[in-house]
Structure 1
Amino acid sequence: MGNITISNGFASFNSFLIAMKTALSSPWSRHYWWSRRLSCNQCIGMALVLFAILNSLFQYNIVYSRAMYHQVHGVDRPVFGEPVAKIIHQSWVSIDTLPAKVKRPIDSWKAENPHYHYRFWSDADIPAFVQNHFPEYFVLFKRFPVDIMRSDFFRYLVVLKYGGVWSDIDTMCLKPVDTWAPITSHTVSAMVGVELDASDVILDWWSLKLQFTQWTFAAAPGHPLMRHIVDFIHKRFKDAAEIPLIVHQVTGPSIWTEAILDYLKISADIQSIHPFRFLKNPLLVGDIAIMPVTSFNPTNPQMGGKGLSDPASCSGWDRYLETRDTLIGETLHLIVYTLDRYDPRRLSLRMCLAIAICASVVLQYNVAYSRAMYHQMHGLDKPVYGKPIAKVIHQSWVSLATLPASVKQPVETWKQLNPNYDYRFWSNAEIHGFVDSNFPEFASLFKRFPVDIMRSDFFRYLVVLKHGGVWCDIDTVCLKPVDSWAPSERSVSAMIGVEMDASDVLLDWWSVKLQFTVWTFAAAPDHPLLRHVVNYIQDKYSREVNIPLDVDIVTGATIWTDAIVDYLQKTAQINSIQPYRFLKEPLVLGDVVIMPVTAFNPTNPPMGGRGVNDPASCVAHLFLGSWKKKKSQL
């Protein structure tokens, strides 16, 4: 059984052949192609197909991933709990036939991990291993039509059985395995790395925008993730009359990625790929660490790899091993396999020409890809909206003269820490006139709200929509300058803070596990997020005969949260609350920053607040609750 390694650029060739198959079989039939001459229209059609494929391949090289980042650290209890076994697994035809060029990579694993057992698997060992330990999968194992599928399936089975680290023979270990995972209060039982993160470049041969690495991964023995993966593949292909020749989709990265996402959907209720995208640090989901691109694929700058010297780099694919001879050999190997399925009686001159063109395209693509992957370019995408947050601080009370003594010092903190910001105080007498003058379309609903606090809530959204700036309740304390709140490397147009993150504690008055703060938020003037929030409330209650008296649901934190989640679902395709949970650092989504609990609610330790002295703390809420007691009428 030959051990075949396919490069990132070449890996797409499987799907390139799918496109070639389509061109050969549709819209004209296979028999028509082989037995008759091509018409002019058919020649034009083939040329267009080849042009489209060539164009998409090179677009991939020049369009770089968006550099949004997502530093999420889960605090869930471990799902499994056993540590990754101290074993390193690698495989080749035999130890005697190892190419000289892979000896240095192999030695790197042994040198960096002297206390790990190194286990080499020859091709002769593999069938017996599967038959002895996993007889239920042996029939499928034997039916795989190419050796690389058996090699893929074996790696999943051997890590399921013994645990440890799987590393392809042409990978380099850049630092000890024990330093890969984040140091946490619970055990990390599995590590999976992001290989490719497509951003807005959707390539035909990718089943998803995201793909996980299968050249390096790790797990504890018997980990349910590994069991799920092999069962997922077995269930899909055990009864198939004919197993496709598309390695990616049968045992490779496509189905590997699909199976991992399916497992996390079932075990962690993560319904989309967004929590795993644009990672800068490991993301903990239960006892599984999802490693960013730089960890296992540092030499791919297009997808976020920051180079072998980056501290986050753990393992790298030694791309210098991808020689032209290997590429040509594997290209011809897969072409022959694909053409075999058509069972042609003879190769015509036109067919030979078509094969030559396809091979040329693939080879040229790999040359371009090899050059592009070493360009250390880390461009930041342009913000969705682009305007900066206005330098205005908004607060409101009955009147300036009637401010309680307990809030005078908090008010001063906003002025003292932000001398370059305009301070705008809004009295109750001004609010009605502001709404009538600037937002007449909302004036009717504004007046119909049954309690004053609803009007106060709605006003804050409208005033920031109109003028931009920072809204802060009168009983909040500014802990550091507003200009230092958001990540400095991005143009930020809106900031929203997580107030409460319920985890497993479900309180009756919460509509969701997650809630955003309404006492502090910020935006640029006329930001579409704020426009969406006020329209969301208007659409929900403008036709209500009797508006409910529940403040949270009508204008408060509940509907504020619902509207923000709805906005981000529409603009960022985030279909669950998972990306916003257990944040330790700001999460940037386009030009919107989601701040962790500690930023705007540091005095709430049950929900993740780490205290007002924590460097991430920006605002403290005193919770005077004036609106619950008696708020003067507007």
Structure 2
Amino acid sequence: MGVITLPNRVHRTHTHLVACCFALALLGLWCARSLLAEVWTLAALPLIWWNNADQFLISARVDDFDITFANYSIHQVSAAPLDDRIPPVIHHVAMGAGAADHTNRWKDVRQSCIDMHPEWEAYLWTDETADTFVANYYPELYAMWRGYRYPIQKIDALRYMVLYHYGGVILDMDLQCKRALGPLRRFDFVAPAAHPTGFSVGFMMASKKNEFVGALVRDLQRYNKHWLWLPYPTVMFSTGCHYASMIHAYQRNRSELKILAGTGDNFKLHSLNGRVSTPIFDHLGSSSWHSYDAAMIVKLGKSKSWRTPVLLVAGVGIAFFVMKKTRRRRLRV
């Protein structure tokens, strides 16, 4: 009997099918290239956050600063004899449903910080004052800001806006001040380190019109996406701690963007994750938006193979792109 051979056309069909699938995959990646780039910048935070950390982590060696604050008076409201780069302004935000109850609950806690900084200006941002402020000073962002899905997004975005416009200190309502923040006014920007990566936006200090804080405001539109239609990733990737830390990580010069951490075995000395006491604050809240997100994302950075983060980022990007297109088709129908 003779040997049976497959027709050449079957082989050609298989080759063409593979080529078509490959071309479609490339086309999908090309169409989603902007989204993939944004997903990668977010997912890569654990990989790049610690680059040149000795430049931006406040230390005695680099900054001649006592991170324990033991050598500073609890009433020191200025960095004198050094220049005060951060203006004497305190911001608190009380917005959304139950804001009045929230303000009343933390009234004494907020007052502790005001009392520690006599003669400083103090702002309490409410739904009404915040709405007027954004409409007047950031009209190009007003519609986006009003349209945020989650109230915490409006609060986070407002933090960056008021900090850029006025400078000063912005504090969560549940942060009770144990001492004045004057020693930190020598820097242009300060925020506490978060665990396991990045920094917390519940406490930030910045000079007026600070370039980095301006970048936080400008990039709000770029990252304004409902990430995977899940609350935590959406908040953290669009306005929250992960978003802000990512913008920090991609700055060309991070040496002036100071992060207040600890040393050695006590690296979390100033971390505000959960209910804790630090040298400068008692954090009386019971939860942290950042801890969930960071724990999830850091697993990506710890992968032993470079293929895992690349494949995951590509997969998330393509899935998001397909879901977005599908949703648009349904809306047309």
TM-score between both structures, scaled by the size of structure 1: 0.30
Distance in 2 between the 1:214 and 1:176 partners?
19
- Corresponding position: 1:232 with 2:219: yes
Distance in 1 between the 2:220 and 2:235 partners?
12
Distance in 1 between the 2:192 and 2:131 partners?
28
Distance in 2 between the 1:241 and 1:114 partners?
42
Q: Which residue of 2 aligns with 1:87?
A: 89
Aligned residues: percent identity?
A: 16
Distance in 1 between the 2:218 and 2:84 partners?
21
- Corresponding position: 1:148 with 2:152: yes
- Corresponding position: 1:103 with 2:69: no
Alpha-carbon shift at residue 179 of structure 1 (Å): 2.8
Match of 2:180 among 176, 183, 186: 176
Aligned pairs (5 A) from 1:150-549? 150-180=154-184, 187-196=186-195, 198=196, 210-237=197-224, 245=231, 246-263=234-251, 266-268=252-254, 285-286=255-256, 288-292=257-261, 293-295=268-270, 297=272, 307-308=277-278, 313-319=279-285
Distance 1:91 1:70, change over 3 A: closer
Q: Which residue of 1 aligns with 2:127?
A: 123
How many residues are paired up?
A: 206
Distance in 2 between the 1:229 and 1:243 partners?
23
**Letter of the structure 2 residue corresponding to residue 150 of structure 1:** K
Contact 1:194–1:296 (CA under 8 A) maintained in structure 2: yes
Contact 2:198–2:242 (CA under 8 A) maintained in structure 1: yes
Distance in 2 between the 1:243 and 1:299 partners?
26
Alpha-carbon shift at residue 70 of structure 1 (Å): 9.1
Distance in 2 between the 1:157 and 1:118 partners?
16
Distance 1:299 1:243, change over 3 A: closer
Contact 1:87–1:117 (CA under 8 A) maintained in structure 2: yes
Distance 1:104 1:237, change over 3 A: same
Q: Which residue of 2 aligns with 1:597?
A: none
Distance in 2 between the 1:74 and 1:119 partners?
33
Contact 1:297–1:317 (CA under 8 A) maintained in structure 2: yes
Alpha-carbon shift at residue 297 of structure 1 (Å): 2.5
Distance 1:95 1:119, change over 3 A: farther
Q: Which residue of 2 aligns with 1:114?
A: 118
Alpha-carbon shift at residue 135 of structure 1 (Å): 1.3
Aligned pairs (5 A) from 1:546-557? none
Q: For each residue in 1:178-208, what CA deviation from the matched residue of structure 2 results, as whole angstroms up to 9, or x when unmatched?
A: 0346xxxxx4111111021x3xxxxxxxxxx
Contact 2:199–2:259 (CA under 8 A) maintained in structure 1: no
**Letter of the structure 2 residue corresponding to residue 112 of structure 1:** M
Distance 1:190 1:71, change over 3 A: closer
Distance 1:125 1:236, change over 3 A: same
Structure 1 residue ranges without an equivalent (≥5)? 1-68, 76-80, 182-186, 199-209, 269-284, 331-364, 366-634
Taking only aligned residues, the RMSD between alpha carbons, in angstroms, comes to 3.4
Higher relative contact order (CA 8 A, sep 6+): 2
Contact 2:260–2:270 (CA under 8 A) maintained in structure 1: yes
Contact 1:149–1:251 (CA under 8 A) maintained in structure 2: yes
Q: For each residue in 1:534-588, what CA deviation from the matched residue of structure 2 results, as whole angstroms up to 9, or x when unmatched?
A: xxxxxxxxxxxxxxxxxxxxxxxxxxxxxxxxxxxxxxxxxxxxxxxxxxxxxxx
Contact 1:141–1:150 (CA under 8 A) maintained in structure 2: yes
**Letter of the structure 2 residue corresponding to residue 192 of structure 1:** A
**Any idea what SS the aligned residue of 1:119 has?**
strand
Distance 1:233 1:298, change over 3 A: closer
Distance 1:242 1:108, change over 3 A: same
Structure 2 residue ranges without an equivalent (≥5)? 1-56, 64-82, 262-267, 293-333
**Any idea what SS the aligned residue of 2:259 has?**
strand
**Any idea what SS the aligned residue of 2:165 has?**
helix
Alpha-carbon shift at residue 257 of structure 1 (Å): 1.0
Contact 1:164–1:219 (CA under 8 A) maintained in structure 2: yes
State which structure, 1 or 2, has the greater radius of gyration over its C-alpha atoms: 1
Distance 1:180 1:70, change over 3 A: closer
Distance in 2 between the 1:139 and 1:243 partners?
20
Alpha-carbon shift at residue 97 of structure 1 (Å): 3.9
TM-score between both structures, scaled by the size of structure 2: 0.54
Aligned pairs (5 A) from 1:32-47? none
Q: For each residue in 1:61-97, what CA deviation from the matched residue of structure 2 results, as whole angstroms up to 9, or x when unmatched?
A: xxxxxxxx9946447xxxxx97111110012149854
Distance 1:299 1:142, change over 3 A: closer
Distance in 1 between the 2:260 and 2:150 partners?
30
Contact 2:227–2:237 (CA under 8 A) maintained in structure 1: no
Q: Which residue of 2 aligns with 1:425?
A: none
Distance in 2 between the 1:70 and 1:230 partners?
24
Distance in 2 between the 1:221 and 1:140 partners?
24
Alpha-carbon shift at residue 248 of structure 1 (Å): 1.2
